[in-house]
Structure 1
Amino acid sequence: MNNKSSPFARIFLPHPDPTDPRVGNYFSEHAFKLALLRSPFVTQHPEKAHFFFMPFSINAMRNHPLLRSESSISDFVAKYVLRISTKFLFWNASGGADHFYVCCHSVGREAASKHITLRNNAIQLTCSSSYFQRLYSAHKDIALPQVWPRHSDEVLNPPNARKRFLHNQYKCWMENRSLRSLRQQLLNLWRNDTSFDIFSGHPSYPYEEGFRRSKYCLHVKGYETYLNLYRNLCMVRKHFKWHADPVSYDAFHMTAYQLWVRRGLHRLVT
């Protein structure tokens, strides 16, 4: 796919500007490819490779005048896999189990629908937050952080800076006051209901025990819980950031690690 004059070249080549807002929720798809090409994990000796990347872009296909539809995209991908399986020995050596591709959003998950071996064997890096998505196999596929394009130095606003939650300290105080009232109302309503374990502060038993014997937990907290989530988010944010030149522990390295733990495959032939 080195022929840049091919009408389908842009499907395989890196996006010229993955931070373009029009990329939308397909940003991670392009960011991964760009980071991979600039990482030290690419080899010019395929016999030494642990994995083989299939660089087609679902987003590029969605915007290609000759494709666009889900059916056309899955047809194109099936023909592409057929081509590499007849031209190169590496696909057949593992049945495609050491090959992977990247896709985001629902259209991407349909890409492998018309090639059974690709669907069942190849590793799918997909923007999915659920193990129960159709065509997602939890034992082999990898969830890719779905990130919208934005400036990397954008500061996360703390909860008290978000108009949606708190306009000022007065409103913060009023909300805490109303939550105290709500907690008291719940206590008054359910304190004598034996089907509930109701307590203020820490329970007399370990949390794990409570989770095991409960159907759900109602945690009536206010501003301090928004603030704790914000602090935790600041701590893990680096794992969801993409960089053109990969940085340790960023989204690319976290994804590459998930690939690495799936490397225990022995090829059938060499």
Structure 2
Amino acid sequence: MPHHPSSPRRLLPRKLLQRRPAVAACAAVAVLAAAAILLAAPTTEAPSRTLLAGGSIPSRSREDPHATAEGRFVESSSLPPAEAPPPSLKASFSSRITPAGPSIFLAPAPSPVESVDDRVMEEPEQPDIKENLPKESAPFLQEPISSDSTSSSDVSEDLDMSVHTVPPPNPEIPLWSTAADAELIYAKKEIANAPLVSGHPDLYAPLFRNVSIFKRSYELMEALLKVYIYHDGAKPIFHSPFLKGIYASEGWFMKLIEGADQDFVVRDPNRAHLFYLPYSSRQLEHNLYVPGSNTLEPLSIFVKNYIDMISAKFPYWNRTKGADHFFVACHDWGPYTTKLHDELRKNTIKALCNADLSEGVFIRGRDVSLPETYVRSPRKPLNGIGGKPASQRSILAFFAGQMHGRVRPILLRHWGDKDADMRIYSRLPRRITRRMNYVQHMKSSKYCICPMGYEVNSPRIVEAIYYGCVPVIIADNFVLPFDDVLDWGAFSVVVPESDVPRLKEVLLEIPESRYVAMQSNVRKVQRHFLWHAKPVKYDIFHMILHSVWFSRVNQVLQVQ
């Protein structure tokens, strides 16, 4: 049974916030002083942890470092001759911008679940620090895309061609225009008029909301996208990815995009379509959180100071008020550390594992739901992937893990040790693990139950995909990973939290033929969730980058 290293991912009960000890306040001040040192330090320096907080930093290892990630960046972009943008698009153009132009937001599929948070098996309790978070409505829904190019009437049923004009949320008009803006506008028009696709060898249409749009968007990303990475910021907060454990997604992405031989990175910021803020939410928590303080204030102030420094030192943030900037955060606290900087919280593209609509931080249509991947071995991230075929899966449903959050205790109360078909445990008993461990259970089960914990995100969802088990997601207000392009109804089951008492009935109502199709689709979608030391086309690294690119394209306004 996998064991998750201790990790203060859980948020502290609100009532504890009212009893903060004076000592914690002093410690927080010390941490803030250390944060100033980090921000001012040059990128090349990597101060030891003992320099922070005026003495020592909590060095609690809450997760394993494992994976690797490399980015790709091309400084010369070339489309096929017939599809290349006219030379005029490369030239500068008027800075007058109007909200006109095609919009490629696709009508969202039925909202999946509400919230899914978990830590795979034995995860430590974490403080609950959702303090004074601004609640803003986020009704803006984005229609995901799907891709495949080449026209064919055979795929018309797979395409949602309801491309319509929807103004992006809080659009910010750039202070001046760039050639990169022209390329984004060109890409937006091309995607809106994507040719139909059928029989693509690498893209299975039923997995996507609109495979034609996805394919055209992905092609344009490969041909045009330039990302500028800020070099400012000292280690360990910046440029120091954790590569193992439940927060590995943010680390792998950072590792890969900052790696050698990138295809997408550009050194000239004036040519960039996107600007990457290379800090780690996991490192923020690990190095700046004061144990027992029950507050994220030091982390939030550190992030605010960093953005203020970037905007004062460079003109790029101010040009769009942060709308063409993005960061990637898998730690639960990632969304909450943005609360002290309005432009960062409202305008920046946030790639978050904790993609919870109910908190008022994650903005659907602008932000990106990041898959939470539990990496056990960075050197062999694909080790152990696979599972039994559908016909040999003897267990109807399986779950084992800690009983935190509002859903899991209800799940255990109704199904724990009550039904041989429903293998629901708080922890796997030794008498059972002697015969079959946690991973073997997932590889032998038809459905893997993925209930929310304290937060909505859960590594179990991707784990289930890795082991060929159909995920059953129980969480309300959760935006599922890559929801902008993938049709989760093709390979998963979303169950409202209120239906936990009738969970077995819900699963048995699914026809066997439907289950077999979903299990087959789980195996097909697996490639889009895999990390590779050297990124592979359509893998998780490229899918994350595409979601950020697609969000930016959707936001760009027409230039007069």
- If the length of structure 2 is used for normalisation, what is the TM-score? 0.35
Which of the residues 257, 260, 263 maps onto 1:36? 257
Q: Does 1:155 align with 2:385?
A: yes
Give yes or no for contact 1:67–1:73 (8 Å, CA) kept in 2: no
Q: Match of 1:18? A: 243
Higher fraction of helix? 1
How many residues align? The count is: 215
Unmatched runs of 5 consecutive residues or more in structure 2: 1-41, 52-233, 398-419, 422-498, 500-504
Q: Does 1:9 align with 2:235?
A: yes
Q: 1:122 to 1:230 in 2, by over 3 A?
A: same
Which of the residues 252, 260, 263 maps onto 2:541? 252
Q: Match of 2:248? A: 27
Give yes or no for contact 1:31–1:243 (8 Å, CA) kept in 2: no
Which of the residues 363, 369, 373 maps onto 1:143? 369
Q: 1:26 to 1:78 in 2, by over 3 A?
A: same
* Aligned positions of 1:1-270 closer than 5 A: 1-6=42-47, 8-15=234-241, 18-19=243-244, 24-38=245-259, 39-64=262-287, 69-128=295-354, 130-150=356-376, 151-158=381-388, 164-165=395-396, 220-221=509-510, 225-264=514-553, 265=556
Deviation at 1:148, TM superposition (A): 0.8
Quick one: which amino acid aligns to residue 234 of structure 1? R
Tell me whether 157-166 or 132-141 shows the greater mean CA deviation.
Answer: 157-166
- If the length of structure 1 is used for normalisation, what is the TM-score? 0.70
Quick one: which amino acid aligns to residue 268 of structure 2? H
Instruction: Report the 3-state secondary structure (helix = DSSP H, G, I; strand = E; otherwise coil) of the residue aligned with 1:41.
Output: coil
Cα separation, 2, equivalents of 1:110 and 1:130: 11
Deviation at 1:164, TM superposition (A): 4.5
Quick one: which amino acid aligns to residue 547 of structure 2? Q
Q: CA RMSD in A?
A: 3.0
Q: 1:118 to 1:37 in 2, by over 3 A?
A: same
Q: 1:61 to 1:154 in 2, by over 3 A?
A: same
Instruction: Report the 3-state secondary structure (helix = DSSP H, G, I; strand = E; otherwise coil) of the residue aligned with 2:333.
Output: helix
Cα separation, 2, equivalents of 1:4 and 1:138: 37
Quick one: which amino acid aligns to residue 27 of structure 1? A
Q: 1:99 to 1:221 in 2, by over 3 A?
A: closer
Give yes or no for contact 1:12–1:55 (8 Å, CA) kept in 2: yes
Cα separation, 2, equivalents of 1:116 and 1:259: 20
Runs of 4+ in 1 over 6 A off after TM superposition: none
Tell me whether 124-133 or 75-84 shows the greater mean CA deviation.
Answer: 124-133
Quick one: which amino acid aligns to residue 62 of structure 1? E
Quick one: which amino acid aligns to residue 5 of structure 1? A
Cα separation, 1, equivalents of 2:301 and 2:290: 9
Q: Match of 2:21? A: none
Give yes or no for contact 1:61–1:67 (8 Å, CA) kept in 2: no
Deviation at 1:263, TM superposition (A): 3.3
| 1:46-90: CA deviation from partner (whole Å, max 9, x where unpaired) | 111111111110101111156675221111100100111101111
Quick one: which amino acid aligns to residue 372 of structure 2? Q
Deviation at 1:40, TM superposition (A): 1.1
- In percent, how many aligned pairs have the same letter? 29
Instruction: Report the 3-state secondary structure (helix = DSSP H, G, I; strand = E; otherwise coil) of the residue aligned with 1:263.
Output: helix
Instruction: Report the 3-state secondary structure (helix = DSSP H, G, I; strand = E; otherwise coil) of the residue aligned with 1:9.
Output: coil
Give yes or no for contact 2:282–2:331 (8 Å, CA) kept in 1: no
Larger Rg: 1
